[in-house]
Amino acid sequence: VTKRPLRIGIIGTGFMGRVHSHAWRQVAAHFDLPVMPVLHTVCGRRREPAQELASRYGWHNVTTDTTALIHDPDIDLIDITAPNNLHADLAIAAAKAGKTVACEKPLACTGANADRMARAVDDAKVASFVWFNYRRVPALALVRHFVQSGRIGRIFRVQSAYLQDWLNDCDSSDSWRLQKDMAGGGSLIDLASHVVDLVRAITGCEFLRVAATMRAFKSCRAVVPQARTGDDVTDGKDALSPSRGQPECIDTCLPWGDGPVDVDDALAITADLSNGAICSIETSRCATGHGNDLAFEVNGDRGAIRFRLPEFNHLEFWDNTLPVVERGWRRITATGSAAPYASAYWPTDHALGYADSFTNTAADILRSLGTDESFSPNFDEGRACQHVLDAIAQSAAERRWVELSQRISLPVGH
Amino acid sequence: VTKRPLRIGIIGTGFMGRVHSHAWRQVAAHFDLPVMPVLHTVCGRRREPAQELASRYGWHNVTTDTTALIHDPDIDLIDITAPNNLHADLAIAAAKAGKTVACEKPLACTGANADRMARAVDDAKVASFVWFNYRRVPALALVRHFVQSGRIGRIFRVQSAYLQDWLNDCDSSDSWRLQKDMAGGGSLIDLASHVVDLVRAITGCEFLRVAATMRAFKSCRAVVPQARTGDDVTDGKDALSPSRGQPECIDTCLPWGDGPVDVDDALAITADLSNGAICSIETSRCATGHGNDLAFEVNGDRGAIRFRLPEFNHLEFWDNTLPVVERGWRRITATGSAAPYASAYWPTDHALGYADSFTNTAADILRSLGTDESFSPNFDEGRACQHVLDAIAQSAAERRWVELSQRISLPVGH
Amino acid sequence: VTKRPLRIGIIGTGFMGRVHSHAWRQVAAHFDLPVMPVLHTVCGRRREPAQELASRYGWHNVTTDTTALIHDPDIDLIDITAPNNLHADLAIAAAKAGKTVACEKPLACTGANADRMARAVDDAKVASFVWFNYRRVPALALVRHFVQSGRIGRIFRVQSAYLQDWLNDCDSSDSWRLQKDMAGGGSLIDLASHVVDLVRAITGCEFLRVAATMRAFKSCRAVVPQARTGDDVTDGKDALSPSRGQPECIDTCLPWGDGPVDVDDALAITADLSNGAICSIETSRCATGHGNDLAFEVNGDRGAIRFRLPEFNHLEFWDNTLPVVERGWRRITATGSAAPYASAYWPTDHALGYADSFTNTAADILRSLGTDESFSPNFDEGRACQHVLDAIAQSAAERRWVELSQRISLPVGH
Amino acid sequence: VTKRPLRIGIIGTGFMGRVHSHAWRQVAAHFDLPVMPVLHTVCGRRREPAQELASRYGWHNVTTDTTALIHDPDIDLIDITAPNNLHADLAIAAAKAGKTVACEKPLACTGANADRMARAVDDAKVASFVWFNYRRVPALALVRHFVQSGRIGRIFRVQSAYLQDWLNDCDSSDSWRLQKDMAGGGSLIDLASHVVDLVRAITGCEFLRVAATMRAFKSCRAVVPQARTGDDVTDGKDALSPSRGQPECIDTCLPWGDGPVDVDDALAITADLSNGAICSIETSRCATGHGNDLAFEVNGDRGAIRFRLPEFNHLEFWDNTLPVVERGWRRITATGSAAPYASAYWPTDHALGYADSFTNTAADILRSLGTDESFSPNFDEGRACQHVLDAIAQSAAERRWVELSQRISLPVGH
């Protein structure tokens, strides 16, 4: 019997366009799927990169017209990897056209837009998916399994830091990620979105309130967030205290070439979670020594567990129910039959990589579409995450605790 | 030539009494000193433990009378290791009696008392010392050296967590540390004091403002700090939201035997430092998997450096000025001639231990007393640290940012 | 312009058949290549697995007839992933048919067969390739780069251990790898082959002589190798000393289901290298705690470097030319532009995986075929490796040092 | 009641003299002992260093006359830390004088002398002790406990490397350790002695046979061991093959200042143990990157365990009886009540150091003398270790396997 084809149209040809293409192309080689992905059309702003992507990954068609793509009756699923500011309009149009919609994280630049998107897929009764790929790194999926099965017990502490350092090299040129109008924010939108999603998914807890501080460190872009409020709460003498509306620079290297950049570089957050746990979060693009380092740890009364992205195939577990002399951090390898997703690939103890987490996501999307299995996160959850990000930004700008209770009331999902 | 003797009277016979005794007894075996420590008298509340300490470590005399000790004309230095709430009165009395005063950390339970103590040694013109021993762990002293000599460059991020887990074992019985009237606080006073001192000492930065959240997790002691303010800022529905004045328990194990315990178990802090850096701090006594784990990291534009207490003899350094392909976290061993203090002991690559950090502190105290070398931290610095702790407690209780600018205006010292 | 196609016929549908298929399918997505691989035909002993592999990875045709495949004029390259004992005949037939030959490691079961294979490709003047994939793990390729560019200096020590533990689970059923007639040997052939190849490739040194001890630990297969020689060199009293021809069992778990297994489980080797360095090698399939752990370290007078397979994307470098206080093991991440091959994939600090090392090998094979770039290892080098393995087996069986000087006189290659 | 005093006379004032002094001085502060050590007399070749040691550590008397010391009726125990070549005569004289004898490792320079020493204490019926201090590093004592209590199961593999790198710095001046007549050998005597002792003590296995290769790398001392035999087994063409009696130099840095040095720098050993396990050992003083790194690992069918000296307070344990998904290397901290000896010091998770392993040894010596508890290793065990070292040297010199069966027939002890 031939499996039902699922014809995909992808928007965007950047880094994420490549990784999604890789996932769609690879997924059926590794996984047994109820529907068969067809790499139907790639759509880019410019034709050449789209052509290039098509020839490398096997997309059958190329277009530069998003509207045509979205309304093409031969396409079943629209996969959005365009810059963040385009997510909302594209996803809403796709939903209205009756397409299944998959959207790269973060769902949107603002909670308001995320609300519109969630409403649109709801109204159109189409399935929706957000590519928070880290949920499907086998080791992190195993972390979630340990937590959800009670091995950590009552959670007291959640700590996560997503640290990068590429902004320390002054010639970084990943431009749209440094433009607020396209990216929606800096480390907040790009990195904290992952952390907030993981905290909710792994612990099953909701954010109650947040207090955050935010910083931009580079010359031509050192708009200290609170300065924008016009509300100078300090005594005017410290290094961070600009005269009203005239942000002082924290100049550390050569100016950026592309003109003013207006997104945050780093962020620290203290949060209360709904179960009483304390949650501490950091994100940065200037954290020298951390190229791409997402750390996640949960500590409870029965155990503790942690993961670091540079140790992609490993997690560490502490079983507090063992005799004292046998307790210790145990490094578990999440490959082979020992971990979610990993058995689809190679025998145990053969390393998987970053791109495989996208392939795993594609597998679950296709399974969900071919069965009645639900998929998490959908747009509702993406929306909940977005409101936490909004609260963080507000907290940093107004320098106060912001309560989340009015903003989100969603189940955390599975 | 015979060296001038420095006759010591020690108060307290607990864990710290033992470690200080070890330090005074050992220091002259390892270090060349301008003055010779004499273990003159040990003073305890009860005679037997004092006698025991004397016989093990070689104290010549034993007493149970602090007043007599403090006014003994044959004693030059009073070393205070009694519970925190006794520090202020003992130190002030000793200063008035013209004695040199060394005080175990934290200097006091409150900033107000620390102010009184600093004033007392100032008025009496006696030398004062605070035993923040971690400053003199060779690896941490080397961390400070790298930072102060510019190898990290402009600092963007400071992260520190002092995590312990002994409160997860319900039969913990270290009672006075769980009584607010004796300890002054929980993880805040015991653990955050070390972190605040290290941040100031290593970075040379001052705390500008702090936002903190604090938690007590155990049954009979689950006074959620903000509840005490009678200011119910939440909507009454979340797990942390008690009805007015009736704190809800977060019950995770059997009740403590000793009756109500009223100190915090865990704390998370977001802070702004005077140079523009973001500082993230956590402390906990319920952090399963972290027996006694003080982590400290500084990231700047030229490099990064970090230390963890379980890796007592090591630090990690990232040199961002190297070619990209050669950059990496470099594990440096702080022993032998390669690190401060360590050359006093054994050849390179022979492990030192916890107690040696006290011996190193004793060595610097004695050097300072025999020369015109200054010692840091003295009571002025201990006082500055205490005010940061006060601000953290206030921030958690009132759930708002607290500015430090009015509280401390001291040089950070060396 | 359209690139020249390179039509591939693959033999074998097991684990290696899958990984090679993945590599041929993926290579053009990541690498810019002078020739275009075409997945022409897959050949298996049984049709179904071959069909399955074809449908998953995109092979255009399926056959069960190796002779037809080898003589198919539409095929340019024969890729051999069949069990070791078939390598020689298949490769020689392919060479005689004028095909380019790529062969999974080890090249053969014996040095004699490897000699025949090297002669065959030489006589036929066809290009030959051995898939020692670990050479093209980016981190190991970077290790080689550091060594070859003089950063380690004069080499004193080479240490490598390839440890696995799957034989401790008694229901392991990877049968042909446990049959001497198909596999050629146990950990010697499967694991030591990698180590010997890497020592030669990374250090550029030749093995001068080896002393080895070999062991089989399981019940129905505990033929202690030296017992087979009928030469009982021991005094008959120790645990390893069987009565003549009646090997004593070292019984540790349930018997294997498949009847007698006659390959070694573990091996330790001491070797002298041609530059005067000492080389220590271990391999095992019973090394509990080491699922798939290839460790490699080189120490010289200017530095040291090491790699471990579970840390797939990392290596550690020690620069001994730095000031003492700055020396330390530096963990370098071999991703992005910082490492060989890695730039073909994702931005820096995004993990690659095991399968990518095969894709990198495929890329170099195709580059070599499309240009005049040479490829290492070819059959000549595979042959040299095989003779070292023969010497190791002989050393263990005869319990004496075996000199390599008469056996190999080949340049180590690039 | 006053405890019986045990009056100690120590010989030697070097590094070991200092560490033993520290141990004798400290032991009663930490441990409850049946007898009370008295630091009676220190004896040095020159008076000044002895005087210095006495004043730092509290020795009551100083002498330069070993004979007087040994025959002093006021002394109960002679502790020997003089260079290795003096051990035999001093220990035998002490035994004959009826003294208890404690001797720094290795017991002697040769098996023959060790035999004489063991006979002497036996004849004199005096207690004997060898300071193999690593046995009493808490983490290694815990390793032994896990192995002996069956947690590792049947042992398949023992691997140990004791690596140092100080010979790479050409101005190293620890002269007597580089003179064969005083030291008895190089890394063999100094480092392999520890390894051989640990293998026997931890596994309870005996060495059956050994094959070793040995090397000296430095200019003025590059006597390749086998060259001394006048038996040129190689074909004269390789780098290691000197013409008869004319050793070729492997010149890597400036010549040593002190003239010819005639001890080995590095060693690799393959050994068969009495239970069928394979044992792989390396020692080196030129292993760049390993300042003082003793690694020890045991792998069996129920688990595995390992230790590394730079991680002084930790060990790693792999429990193979756990479900596959929970298996992993578990880092256990050997402090506080969780480990042998450690509870005598500080609460759990406070680091101990190198010198404490000597204090622990002193405690066990004193306990053994005050009770009927036996102590291991005594001279009988020291002697067994020495014969393994002799076999290793012979194996390297004659380039063949050497059987141990005729040499040692001792119980391994407790």
> Which chain B residue lies closest to A212 (C-alpha atoms)?
B270
pLDDT for the residue B153: 94
Under an 8 A CB cutoff, do B292 and D349 touch? Answer: yes
Please name the chains neighbouring B, where neighbouring means 3+ C-beta pairs under 8 angstroms: A, C, D
User: Is it the case that residue B246 has pLDDT exceeding 60?
Assistant: no
Query: Which subunits have 3 or more CB–CB pairs within 8 Å of chain A?
Result: B, C, D
Residues on chain A touching C29 (C-beta within 8 angstroms):
22, 25, 56-57
Lowest mean pLDDT among A203-212, C77-86, D256-265: D256-265
pLDDT score recorded for residue A372: 83
Give the mutation candidate from D156, D187, D223 for the C interface (greatest C CB count, under 10 A). D156
pLDDT of residue B263: 87
**Which pLDDT belongs to residue B83?**
95
Q: Cβ contact (<8 Å) for D400 and C400?
A: yes
- Could you list the beta-strand ranges (E) of D194-302: 207-215, 266-273, 278-284, 292-300
pLDDT at B266 over 60: yes
Which chain B residue shows the shortest CA-CA distance from A316?
B289
Cα torsion B87, B88, B89, B92: sign: positive
**pLDDT tens digit string along B77-118?**
999 999 999 999 999 999 999 999 999 999 999 999 999 999
pLDDT > 50? residue A411: no
Instruction: Render pLDDT for B280-312 as a digit per residue (tens, 0 to 9).
Output: 999 999 999 999 999 999 999 999 999 999 999
Q: How many CB pairs under 8 A join A and B?
A: 186
Which chain D residues have a beta carbon less than 8 Å from that of B349? Answer: 164, 291-293, 310
Q: Measured between alpha carbons, how far is A154 from C240 in angstroms, rounded to an integer? A: 53
Region B261-282 average pLDDT: 92
Q: Between residues B97 and B372, which one has the greater pLDDT?
A: B97
**Chain B residue with minimal CA distance to D2?**
B55
- Residues of C within 8 A of B337 (CB-CB) are 324
User: pLDDT above 70 covers what percent of chain A?
Assistant: 85
Q: Tell me how close the Cα of C14 comes to any Cα of chain A, in angstroms.
A: 11
ipTM surpassing 0.95: no
B405 neighbors A237 (Cβ within 8 angstroms): yes
Is the pLDDT assigned to residue C234 strictly greater than 90? no
Average pLDDT over residues B183-202: 96
- Tens-place pLDDT, residues A24-53: 999 999 999 999 999 999 999 999 999 999
The pairing of strands D402-403 and D207-215 is: antiparallel
Nearest to A142 by CA among A397, A322, A360: A360
pLDDT tens across C324-375, in order? 999 999 999 999 887 999 999 999 999 999 999 999 999 999 999 999 889 9
Residue A332: strand pairing partners: A315
Q: For chain A, how big is the Rg over CA atoms in Å?
A: 22
pLDDT at A176 > cutoff 90: no
Do the Cβ atoms of D307 and D295 come closer than 8 Å?
A: yes
Q: Which residue of D lies nearest to A318 if distances are taken between CA atoms?
A: D330
Task: Give me the mean pLDDT over the A319-328 stretch.
Answer: 95
Does the pLDDT at position B412 exceed 80?
no
Listed residue (C57, C53, C66) closest to C9, CA to CA: C66
**Chain A positions in Cβ-Cβ contact with residue C310 (cut-off 8 Å):** 313-314, 333, 349, 351
Q: Label residue B230 left, alpha or beta by phi (over 0 means left) and psi (-120 to 50 means alpha).
A: left
* Neighbour-count burial of D1, counting CB atoms closer than 10 A to its CB (0-12 exposed, 13-18 middle, 19+ buried): exposed
Query: Is a pLDDT exceeding 90 seen at residue B316?
Result: yes
Q: Within A165-207, where are the H helices?
A: 180-183, 187, 193-203
DSSP string, C304-341: EEEEETTSTTEEEEEETTS-GGG--EEEEE--GGGSTT
The predicted-structure confidence for B1-52, as pLDDT tens digits, reads as follows 678 999 999 999 999 999 999 999 999 999 999 999 999 999 999 999 999 9
Those residues whose C-beta lies under 8 Å from the C-beta of residue A399, and which sit 6 or more positions away, are A213, A226, A233, B209, B401
Per CB-CB distance under 8 Å, the chain A contacts of C309 are: 351
In this prediction, residues C383-387 reach a mean pLDDT of: 97
Mean pLDDT (chain B, rounded):
88
Who's near C350: CB < 8 A, 6+ residues apart? A292, A353, A354, A355, C335, C336
Contact list in B for residue C329 (CB cut-off 8 A) is 330-331
Question: How many whole angstroms separate alpha carbon D224 and alpha carbon D233?
Answer: 13
* pLDDT above 90 for A262: no
Residues of chain D found within 8 Å of residue C408, distances taken between Cβ atoms: none
Of C328, C337, C338, the CB nearest to B330: C328
| C contact chains, 3+ CB pairs < 8 A | A, B, D
Q: Which residue of A has its CA nearest to B242?
A: A276
Distance from CA of C245 to the nearest CA of B (A): 51
Q: Look up tokens 């208890």; give the residue.
A: D100
How distant is the Cα of D398 from the closest Cα of chain A, in angstroms? 42
- Residues of chain B contacting D, Cβ within 8 Å: 15, 18-19, 22, 25-26, 28-30, 56-57, 164, 166, 291-293, 309-314, 333, 335, 345-356
**Residue ranges of chain D with pLDDT lower than 50?**
219-259, 410-414
The residue with greater pLDDT, A56 or C229, is: A56
Chain C neighbors of A350, CB-CB under 8 A? 292, 353-355
| Chain B interface, best mutation among C302, C317, C332, by max B CB count within 10 A | C332
Q: Do B287 and A157 touch (CB under 8 A)?
A: yes
In this predicted structure, the answer to whether residue B220 has a pLDDT above a threshold of 60 is no
D213 contacts in C (CB within 8 Å)? 211, 270-272, 278
In this complex, do A215 and B253 lie within 8 Å of one another by their Cβ atoms? no
- What's the CA gap between A296 and D164, in Å, rounded? 36
φ and ψ at residue A279, rounded to 5 degrees:
-125, 125
Percent of chain A with pLDDT over 90: 79
SS3 A61: strand
SS3 of A385, please?
helix
Q: What is the mean pLDDT of residues B54-81?
A: 98
Instruction: Judge: C333–A291 Cβ closer than 8 Å, yes or no.
Output: yes
- pLDDT of the residue at D175: 66
Query: Cis peptide leading into B106, omega within 30 of 0?
Result: yes
Instruction: Round to whole Å and give the CA distance between C179 and C221.
Output: 10
Residue D361: is it exposed, middle or buried by C-beta count within 10 angstroms (0-12/13-18/19+)? buried
pLDDT digits (tens, 9 = 90+) for C260-314: 567 899 999 999 999 999 999 999 999 999 999 999 999 999 999 999 999 999 9
Pick among B330, B343, B346, B358 to test the D interface (most D CBs inside 10 A): B346
| Chain D contact residues (CB < 8 Å to B) | 15, 18-19, 22, 25-26, 28-30, 56-57, 164, 291-293, 309-314, 333, 335-336, 345-356
- What residues in C contact D278, CB-CB < 8 Å? 213, 215, 266-268, 282, 284
**C271 vs D contacts (CB less than 8 Å):** 213
Residue B216 has what pLDDT? 86
Mean pLDDT of A101-124: 97
CA distance C38 to C58: 10
Cβ count within 10 A of residue D65: 10
Are A269 and A211 contacting, i.e. CB atoms less than 8 angstroms apart?
Answer: yes
Tell me whether residues A318 and B269 touch, CB distance under 8 A: no
Contact criterion met (CB < 8 Å) for D252 and C154: yes
| Nearest CA-CA distance, residue D349 and chain B, Å | 5
Structure tokens at D153: 């199961």
- pLDDT computed for residue A171 by the predictor: 55
Beta strands in D264-393 (DSSP E): 266-273, 278-284, 292-300, 303-308, 314-319, 329-333
pLDDT tens-digit readout, C29-81: 999 999 999 999 999 999 999 999 999 999 999 999 999 999 999 999 999 99
Query: Cβ of C353 and A348 within 8 Å?
Result: no
> pLDDT-based confidence at A238, cuts 50/70/90?
very low
- What is the pLDDT confidence band of residue A406, given thresholds at 50, 70 and 90? low
Whole-number pLDDT of residue B217: 81
DSSP-derived letter for residue A58 is T
Enumerate the residues of chain D whose CB falls inside 8 A of the CB of residue C159: 161, 282
How far away is chain A from the Cα of D325, in angstroms, using its nearest Cα? 5
Q: State the average pLDDT over residues B359-387.
A: 96
Sign of CA dihedral A280, A282, A288, A290: positive
Neighbouring residues of A172: CB distance < 8 A, sequence distance ≥ 6: A166, A178
Q: Where does the pLDDT of residue C227 fall: very low under 50, low under 70, confident under 90, or very high at 90 and above?
A: very low
Please list every residue in chain B whose beta carbon sits closer than 8 Å to the beta carbon of residue A235. Answer: 403, 405
| Yes or no, beta carbons of D270 and C272 under 8 Å apart | no
- Judge whether A326 and D332 are in contact, CB under 8 Å: yes
Instruction: Answer whether D333's CB lies under 8 Å from D314's CB.
Output: yes
User: Contacts of residue C30 in chain A, CB cutoff 8 Å?
Assistant: 56
**Tokens in use for D122?**
């036996």
pLDDT at B386 over 50: yes
Helix axis angle for A15-30 and A354-370, nearest 10°, is: 60
b/e per residue, B16-48, with b = 16+ CB within 10 A? bbbbbbbbbbbbbbbbebebebbbbbbbbeeee
Q: Which of C234, C302, C405 sits opposite D237 (nearest CB)?
A: C405
User: With DSSP H G I counted as helix, E B as strand and the rest as coil, what are the percentages for chain C, rounded to 5?
Assistant: 40, 25, 40
Query: Nearest-CA neighbor of D201 among D51, D12, D381?
Result: D381
CA-wise closest residue to B271 among B285, B257, B281, B261 = B281
Give the per-residue pLDDT at A174.
57
pLDDT at A248: 32
Higher pLDDT, A354 or D183: A354
Interface test with C, best of A312, A333, A341 (most C CBs within 10 A): A312
Task: List CB contacts (< 8 A) between B353 and chain D.
Answer: 350-353, 356
